[in-house]
Structure 1
Amino acid sequence: MGIARQFVTGGTDLPGPKTQALIDRRQQAVAKGVGNNHPLFVQKAEGALLVDVDGNQYLDFAGAIGTVNAGHCPPEVVEALHKQLDQYLHTCFHVGMYEPYVALAEKLAQITPGTHAKKAMFMNSGAEAVENAVKIARKYTGRPGIVSFTRGFHGRTLLGMSLTSKVKPYKFQMGPFAPATYKAQFPYPYQRPAGMTEEEYSEFCVKQFEDFLLTEAAPEEVAAVIMEPVQGEGGFIVPPESFVQGIYRICREHGILFIADEIQTGFGRTGEMFASTIFGIEPDLMTLSKSLAAGFPISAVVGRAEMMDAPNPGEIGGTYGGSPLGCVAALAVIEKMEREDLPARAREMGEMIRGRFGALQPKYPCIGEVRGLGAMCAIEIIDPKTGAPGKELAAQVIQSSFGKGVVLLSAGVHSNVIRFLAPLVISDEQLQEGLSIIEEVLEELHAESALKQW
């Protein structure tokens, strides 16, 4: 195709010698269960680019699994961290309070959906945010039950695993799991029954949830429903708006709290600061992390003030929760996102990605669906003969793209969905180059004799 590779290097010699040496050391010292998607050791990262220890440069379409919406090493964040390093590293908010914690709580209360009074608390990871949101919901309602959804992902802690729906690799032989956790059906519009419109399918799924509260969990015993507005690990599945609003309405009718897990959807990825806004809901509680601080470990639970105040002092928190460095990084990220209107940039990126692969669908029938919201986009890879999930083919696309300088990730319970999580600061030229490389890979695979049946 004659692609002029302005931003990537590398080639058939991957991994390079320095990378291979580090891989050998990693094999000896790091637990096997800590998985790695690519043979990549990063030396430097900036914007949407990664440079490995051998000097190869890559376009990052994985974004640290959606953690760097504001880009790698944003100058504003780096400056804020340097300034904080000269003052103090950590005092533990429970022992010696500091202003950045309060300022971040105020800012999140301002920018999250709804004009009601809100409060926030901070931890280190998304899973910890989920754990604390559940604790708050149970304390406020006095009820034990928590309902999550099929294909949902909420972390790898005991409670996070219990709420997560994919067995391998997240839950296999890790049980028993936390009690009073239930799974309801989440819509998958691409796989809806033949002849059923999306709206009819949405109504059917809402009715399924109403039946669920009769057959699986009595609403009087359910503290909260936790939902990703767009499922992340589950395959970037965008539910119908009427489904999300229907579940939200049912929660209101029964005094069940609605927890929006916006750990991957939050901070501009879907074309608004938070996806809940797109679906027209005001969650009772929200869990936030990932792109909150450009990769610095911090997470948050933000919610209605009366609910957040249900636990007594000492019942929520943690030694490192809301570290000063994490707080100043998060404040700098939010300021950058607002100043540069990165949610609008996400909408532009989404149009480019979906437009590019939508146009390729007739040529490559292995592309079962192109979907997404804002820049949270994905292509579902299928067997063009049977329509079955194309896990191996998706893996080939990802592996071959990496060899040409584009870092990609899969998703979905069958690992057959290729997702796009490039930083929102990526340039048009970088984005188009990466998309052209993926198209080149599809063309090469299409030309192979084993795939001529396409």
Structure 2
Amino acid sequence: MKMSSLYERSLKVIPPVAGRATKLGVVRGEGAYLYTEDGRKVLDFASGVAVCNLGHNNPAVIKAAKEQMDKLIHGGHNVVYYESYVKLAEKIVELTGNKTMVYFSNSGAEANEGAIKLAKYITKRQAIISFKGSFHGRTLATTSITGSSSKYRKNYEGLLPSVYFAEYPYCFRCPYKQNKESCNMECISQFEDMFKKLIEPESVAAIIMEPVQGEGGYIVPPKKFLKAVREICDKYGICLIFDEVQCGFGRTGKIFAHENFEVEPDIFTCAKAIASGFPLSAVIGKKELMEKWPAGAHGGTFGGNPVACAASLATIKELESGVLDNANNMGNYLKEELLKLKDKYACIGDIRGIGLMIGMEFCKENNNPDGDIVTFIREVAVNNNLILLGCGTEHNVLRFIAPLTVEKSEIDMAISIVEKGIVEYLNK
């Protein structure tokens, strides 16, 4: 009698809200590959949704986690102090110029909740400005500041009050219908218009944004824009929060994504890749702000778990040992190969990204978004042992989230499969 697959078994016990991008059942992972229950070796260019930046089961991370498990699995960071927590905080403070302090949580959404709570507490203001196309989490508060899909909000209204949405500088599809030659940076002047018509700046606690937008389409904003937002926040005493949950910890070729833009936030958040698969996140804020956040104003039980902190320390050490160089080199190579495909196929509208955070946007003849081809290519890919994810508010962007340890031969394999999907779609 044939055994049921993990997917088939899940249908009886797991609700549909816990959806998956594929129906694959996997039994182990190693490097850039997942191994399935039916014996397939699958190249993973999703990396657990930008979590496994060092690849699956990095040996140094596993070693650090096992050693910590022999010492202490849980102590409770609101009860006692322990080495891995304090040492990781010291390391992150060092990486951020010794001007910050760190609070650890479990998930990206939890970190973003902490960040907006911190901003509200410190400023004693209520309003938050977020961006269309953003994704910050699925809790009620982070759903309130997420602007990439109305389905995340359906049946959950009312949400956190006093949230306002600005246009993100999506240059390929400029919301102001401008092009590079005629652009007047309306994406910057929109804030003064917002302050005049919707909310006074003195009522705004924070502007929260992804330095590189993830779910919204792997969109890289102009450096000039981020610098302007920093100046606006300085002018009005608004906290600038960067959500680096997906774009942080090496994904853009630097430890922190905002380093690419030479702009320092007041507060920023990290999660996903911070501990190579162990649940951990961080709220990182300027010291002068964090010192004003008193005991009891925020908290949690599992944040800063000893094993996760040990895994994070090992992750940072690996990133600093040459992995970031590989991310930049392989990111450049991947981008070059994708641009070659763009020259061959008119359905590819744009290639963009930094490091190994790269998006490929597909369009119809009239330049309207084409999400159907992305769905088709992803299906062809998984049938040919490659995992790819889509993104974009119109679901028309393929996102390439290869591990930062990826090799040229693995990129070549992925490119050939993507091209196979394009050709098959166009020849339907």
Which TM bucket (shorter chain)? Answer: over 0.9
2:359 alignment partner, SS class = strand
User: Can you list the C-alpha shifts for 1:360-403, whole angstroms capped at 9, x where unaligned?
Assistant: 223211111111111110101111x2221111111000111110
Matched, 1:169 2:144: no
Matches within 5 A, 1:15-30: 21-30=5-14
Query: What's the Cα RMSD here?
Result: 1.7
Question: How many angstroms does 1:447 deviate by?
Answer: 2.6
Take 2:174 and 2:287, find their aligned partners in 1: how far apart are those partners? 39
Matched, 1:263 2:245: yes
Residue identity in the other structure for 1:303: G
Residue identity in the other structure for 1:285: I
Question: How many angstroms does 1:209 deviate by?
Answer: 1.9
Question: How many angstroms does 1:193 deviate by?
Answer: 7.4
Residue identity in the other structure for 1:170: Y
Judged with a 3 Å threshold, the aligned counterparts in structure 2 of structure 1 residues 399 and 175 are, in CA distance, closer, same or farther, namely same
Counterpart in 2 of 1:356?
337
Range that drifts further, 368-377 or 347-356:
347-356
2:212 alignment partner, SS class = coil
Matches within 5 A, 1:45-60: 45-60=29-44
Counterpart in 2 of 1:369?
350
Question: How many angstroms does 1:167 deviate by?
Answer: 2.8
Q: 1:101 aligns with which of 66, 69, 85?
A: 85
Question: How many angstroms does 1:417 deviate by?
Answer: 0.5
User: Can you list the C-alpha shifts for 1:110-157, whole angstroms capped at 9, x where unaligned?
Assistant: 113xx3521000000000000001111111111111111110110000
Counterpart in 1 of 2:420?
440
Take 1:62 and 1:168, find their aligned partners in 2: how far apart are those partners? 24
Matched, 1:147 2:129: yes
Q: 1:209 aligns with which of 184, 188, 191?
A: 191
Residue identity in the other structure for 1:355: E
Question: How many angstroms does 1:200 deviate by?
Answer: 5.1
Residue identity in the other structure for 2:227: Q
Counterpart in 2 of 1:37?
21
Counterpart in 2 of 1:70?
54
Matched, 1:347 2:328: yes
User: Can you list the C-alpha shifts for 1:313-365, whole angstroms capped at 9, x where unaligned?
Assistant: 1221211011001100000000110012x222222122122211211223211
Counterpart in 2 of 1:191?
173
Counterpart in 2 of 1:404?
384
Take 1:20 and 1:217, find their aligned partners in 2: how far apart are those partners? 56
Judged with a 3 Å threshold, the aligned counterparts in structure 2 of structure 1 residues 29 and 129 are, in CA distance, closer, same or farther, namely same
User: Can you list the C-alpha shifts for 1:238-269, whole angstroms capped at 9, x where unaligned?
Assistant: 11110111111100111101111111111111
Take 1:287 and 1:221, find their aligned partners in 2: how far apart are those partners? 23
Judged with a 3 Å threshold, the aligned counterparts in structure 2 of structure 1 residues 209 and 67 are, in CA distance, closer, same or farther, namely same
Counterpart in 2 of 1:218?
200
Take 1:334 and 1:323, find their aligned partners in 2: how far apart are those partners? 17
Take 2:183 and 2:4, find their aligned partners in 1: how far apart are those partners? 50
Residue pair 2:327, 2:405 contacting (<8 A) in 1 also: no
Take 1:395 and 1:70, find their aligned partners in 2: how far apart are those partners? 27
Judged with a 3 Å threshold, the aligned counterparts in structure 2 of structure 1 residues 19 and 216 are, in CA distance, closer, same or farther, namely farther
Judged with a 3 Å threshold, the aligned counterparts in structure 2 of structure 1 residues 177 and 426 are, in CA distance, closer, same or farther, namely same
Residue pair 2:171, 2:179 contacting (<8 A) in 1 also: no
Structure 1, unpaired ranges of 5+: 1-16, 449-454
Matched, 1:82 2:66: yes
Residue identity in the other structure for 2:113: E
Take 1:22 and 1:61, find their aligned partners in 2: how far apart are those partners? 21
Residue identity in the other structure for 1:24: E
Counterpart in 2 of 1:452?
none
Take 1:368 and 1:375, find their aligned partners in 2: how far apart are those partners? 19
Question: How many angstroms does 1:442 deviate by?
Answer: 1.4
Judged with a 3 Å threshold, the aligned counterparts in structure 2 of structure 1 residues 261 and 199 are, in CA distance, closer, same or farther, namely farther
User: Can you list the C-alpha shifts for 1:282-313, whole angstroms capped at 9, x where unaligned?
Assistant: 11111000000001100000111121122211
Residue identity in the other structure for 1:348: N
Matched, 1:238 2:223: no
Take 2:136 and 2:175, find their aligned partners in 1: how far apart are those partners? 28
1:169 alignment partner, SS class = helix
Counterpart in 1 of 2:313?
331
Question: How many angstroms does 1:194 deviate by?
Answer: 9.5
TM-score (norm 2): 0.97
Residue identity in the other structure for 2:54: A
Range that drifts further, 215-224 or 149-158:
215-224
Question: How many angstroms does 1:202 deviate by?
Answer: 6.2
Judged with a 3 Å threshold, the aligned counterparts in structure 2 of structure 1 residues 283 and 365 are, in CA distance, closer, same or farther, namely same
Judged with a 3 Å threshold, the aligned counterparts in structure 2 of structure 1 residues 93 and 202 are, in CA distance, closer, same or farther, namely farther
Take 1:281 and 1:166, find their aligned partners in 2: how far apart are those partners? 24
Take 2:122 and 2:406, find their aligned partners in 1: how far apart are those partners? 42
TM-score (norm 1): 0.91
Matched, 1:389 2:389: no
Judged with a 3 Å threshold, the aligned counterparts in structure 2 of structure 1 residues 132 and 19 are, in CA distance, closer, same or farther, namely farther
Question: How many angstroms does 1:436 deviate by?
Answer: 1.4
Take 1:441 and 1:267, find their aligned partners in 2: how far apart are those partners? 31
Structure 2, unpaired ranges of 5+: none
Identity across aligned pairs (percent)?
39
Q: 1:275 aligns with which of 257, 274, 280?
A: 257
Judged with a 3 Å threshold, the aligned counterparts in structure 2 of structure 1 residues 54 and 254 are, in CA distance, closer, same or farther, namely same
Take 2:148 and 2:422, find their aligned partners in 1: how far apart are those partners? 28
Take 2:7 and 2:373, find their aligned partners in 1: how far apart are those partners? 25
Residue pair 1:123, 1:129 contacting (<8 A) in 2 also: yes
Take 2:174 and 2:382, find their aligned partners in 1: how far apart are those partners? 33
Residue identity in the other structure for 1:283: P
